[in-house]
Amino acid sequence: MLDHKRPLDTRLPDMLRSGKRLRGIFNGIPSPALVEMCAYAGFDFLVIDNEHGSASIETTENMLRAARASNLPTLVRCLEHDIARTLDIGAGGLQIPMVSTPAYAAALAPRASAASAAVRSRHALQVMALLAGRPTPRAATKVLRWC
C-alpha cells in the first residue's frame, strides 16, 4: 500500500526485483480516467508516455494523482529537459528515452532521483524565506553558492 506520509510511489523497483511476472501498460492518451481504468483492469504498473503522448504537465500531474488514488505504481517517460518538472509534480520514477551509453545514464542519474527533487524544493523554500526578509543563515549560504 502507498504510504500517504510519503506521496512518491516507490514500490516498482521492489516489484521488478521480486522475479514475479508483472503486467504493465504504456499510456500516451492524456486522461486520468484511463489511468484509473488501467488500475481496475488489473495492470501491475503504468508508464505515462510523455515522449510520444500529448499530455501537458498539468494533465500528467492529474494522471499521477489518479494512479496514486487507484494504488497503481506509475513511471513517467519524459524527455531529458522535462526531468525536473516531472519529478516536481510527483513522479515516483522516470523512463528517459534515447539513453544509449552507460556514461550518459550515469550523468542523468543524479538529476532523475526523487532525492534531487526534494533538495530543489528545500532550496526553493530557503530562497523564498530570504526574499521575504526572513533569511536564515542556511538560506543565505545556499543563495551565495548559486551566485
Among 4, 52, 81, 123, which one carries the catalytic annotation? 52
Residue bearing cell 532523475: 112
Strands 74-77 and 45-49 come out as parallel
10 Å CB burial of residue 96 (0-12, 13-18, 19+) is buried
Strand residue runs (E) in 8-144: 24-27, 45-49, 74-77, 94-95
How far is the C-alpha of 41 from the C-alpha of 116, rounded, in Å? 33
The helix (run of H) or strand (run of E) holding residue 19 is none
For residue 52, indicate whether it is catalytic.
Answer: yes
Catalytic residues: 52
